[in-house]
């Protein structure tokens, strides 16, 4: 099998054989697929097998793979230059479009990844407030910056401990980790330490511990406490931006953050991220202010071209409504197939994101996510893979549907699931 040969070869020169850990299939077992091409809702691996794709490059491919308009924009930009390291009109055009679509954005800085965006947002919150503490939530992932690779301590409201080797304890000590959706805990930590909190960073809809929706009042409480204590509210919309709604989860839930981080969709599949927000906060960034941030490839013209073309497609009338309906049909169909076969299973979706759980009801917290039957998911994953359906190779990741998925793909997926659930 060519996939196995390629994986063996890769492991000789790349740590674990992959350039991002979840790709290694360690969570589910087996050999990762090496892909050679993609079109619309489909992927083809090195052995020539076709898959219906529900990973979507982990979110960016909302209009489908290799959309002609996006490819044409990239080709035109590449014909002019691969990089300038200097300003372009298109960078401003993209920033203007982001401010237009996400009303909380008054100023935008383009970067090269979601991790870079969140790292900068944290530094900006500290530089703006002159404080050190950052509040995050267990199960929310914001990239691999040192201050954010932190897990909860042994007790409630404790300072975090490093969750990665190489992160100094003194760095982790400035991060407080709370339980997602625990509003009383949020209010308690602010009552104790509000004057020391520089900012709160949260996925408004969690997608990195599978899909977990915010409980009623949770996001509102974050906004209230940050306003009351002068802390910066950062919504990490790297994943949810243009997936949950055209204006992001903040538009859907009517929450106005101080700073927003974006990525994935805004690059159309190429490396691009952004942070934006209130003018007074954003103008603390160099060269106007004392908070330093720079990037050689920030605003890369090819990535910007892909992003502009993708966002232009996104504003088509009712496009997002159609993708949301397709996503809902998928999760409801999967739940029905599982129920018919007596398999303990639940599912949910929001916008074009979805979650699959081998438990009776969708989880509301990291602790409940951990109660899912991971071994059963792994068996289901491989059964679906065998039948040409590519899901995220982890029980703790959200899935994604694109505009290219239609009735045929949903029907084929449910047919595969019918057999997969039957094997469980």
pLDDT in tens, 369-390: 999 999 999 999 999 999 999 9
Query: pLDDT value at position 135?
Result: 97
Which region, left, alpha or beta, applies to residue 110 given φ > 0 means left and ψ of -120 to 50 means alpha?
Answer: beta
Paired strand residues for 212: 206
- Residue 366's contacts (CB-CB under 8 Å, 6 or more residues apart) are 137, 138, 139, 179, 180, 209, 212
Domain regions of the chain by residue span: 2-66+318-423, 68-314
Per-residue model confidence as pLDDT tens digits over 234-280: 999 999 999 999 999 999 999 999 999 999 999 999 999 999 999 99
Taking residues 137-150, report their average pLDDT.
88
Q: What pLDDT, on the 0 to 100 scale, is given for residue 152?
A: 53
User: What is the pLDDT, as a whole number, of residue 19?
Assistant: 95
Residue partners of 363: CB distance under 8 A and separation at least 6: 210, 212, 357, 369, 371, 372
What integer is the mean pLDDT of 182-209?
97
160 has a pLDDT exceeding 90 = no
The encoded tokens of residue 194 equal 């509000």
User: Would you place residue 157 in the very low, low, confident or very high pLDDT band (cuts 50, 70, 90)?
Assistant: very low
Res 156 pLDDT > 60: no
Return the H-helix or E-strand segment holding 202: strand 197-202
Architecture of the 68-314 domain: 3-Layer(aba) Sandwich (3.40)
pLDDT at position 155 over 50:
no
Residue partners of 151: CB distance under 8 A and separation at least 6:
138, 160, 161, 162, 163, 177
Confidence of residue 164 (pLDDT cuts 50, 70, 90): confident
Give residue 158's pLDDT: 40
Average pLDDT of the residues of the chain: 95
Query: Residue 173 has what pLDDT?
Result: 85
* pLDDT value at residue 149: 83
Mean pLDDT within 107-127: 97
User: In whole angstroms, what is the distance from residue 417 CA to residue 411 CA?
Assistant: 10
Residues noted as catalytic: 141, 236, 264
- Which CATH class, in words, describes the domain spanning 2-66+318-423? alpha beta
Q: Percentage of the chain surpassing pLDDT 90?
A: 92
Q: How far is CA 172 from the centre of its chain?
A: 22
Q: What does the pLDDT look like over 16-71, one tens digit per residue?
A: 999 999 999 999 999 999 999 999 999 999 999 999 999 999 999 999 999 999 99
* 244 close to 353: Cβ distance less than 8 angstroms: yes
Condensed to tens digits (0 to 9), the pLDDT of residues 9-26 reads 999 999 999 999 999 999
């Amino acid at each position: 099998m060519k996939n196995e040969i390629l994986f063996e070869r890769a492991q000789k020169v790349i740590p674990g054989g992959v350039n991002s850990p979840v790709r290694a299939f360690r969570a589910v077992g087996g050999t990762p697929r090496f892909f050679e091409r993609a079109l619309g809702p489909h992927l083809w691996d090195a052995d020539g097998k076709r898959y219906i794709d529900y990973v979507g490059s982990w979110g960016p491919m909302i209009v489908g793979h290799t959309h002609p308009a996006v490819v044409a924009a990239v080709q035109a930009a590449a014909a002019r230059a691969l990089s300038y390291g200097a300003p372009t009109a298109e960078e401003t055009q993209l920033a203007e479009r982001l401010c237009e679509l996400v009303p909380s954005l008054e100023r935008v800085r383009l970067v090269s990844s979601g991790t870079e965006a969140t790292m900068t947002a944290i530094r900006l919150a500290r530089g703006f407030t002159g404080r050190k503490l950052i509040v995050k939530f267990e199960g929310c992932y914001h990239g691999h910056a040192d201050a954010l690779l932190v897990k909860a301590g042994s007790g409630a409201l404790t300072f975090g401990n490093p969750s990665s080797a190489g992160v100094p304890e003194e760095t982790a000590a400035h991060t407080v980790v709370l339980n997602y959706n625990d509003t009383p805990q949020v209010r308690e930590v602010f009552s104790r330490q509000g004057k020391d909190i520089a900012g709160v960073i949260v996925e408004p809809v969690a997608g990195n511990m599978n899909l977990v929706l915010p409980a009623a009042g949770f996001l509102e409480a974050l906004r209230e406490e940050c306003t009351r204590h002068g802390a910066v509210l950062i919504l990490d919309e790297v994943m949810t931006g243009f997936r949950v709604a055209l204006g992001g989860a903040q538009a859907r839930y009517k929450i106005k953050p101080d700073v927003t981080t974006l990525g994935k969709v805004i690059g159309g599949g190429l490396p691009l991220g952004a942070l934006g927000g209130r003018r007074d906060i954003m103008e603390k960034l160099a060269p106007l202010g004392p908070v330093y941030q720079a990037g050689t490839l920030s605003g890369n013209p090819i990535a910007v071209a892909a992003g502009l073309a993708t966002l232009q497609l996104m504003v088509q009338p009712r496009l997002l409504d159609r993708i949301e309906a397709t996503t809902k049909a998928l999760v409801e169909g999967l739940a029905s197939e599982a129920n018919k076969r007596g398999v303990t299973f639940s599912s949910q979706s929001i916008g074009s994101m979805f979650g699959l759980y081998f438990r009776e009801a969708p989880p509301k917290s990291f602790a409940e996510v951990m109660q899912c039957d991971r071994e059963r998911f792994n068996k289901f994953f491989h059964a679906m893979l065998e039948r040409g359906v590519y899901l995220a190779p982890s029980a703790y990741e959200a899935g994604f549907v694109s505009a290219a998925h239609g009735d045929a793909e949903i029907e084929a997926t449910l047919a595969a699931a019918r057999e997969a659930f039957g094997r469980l």
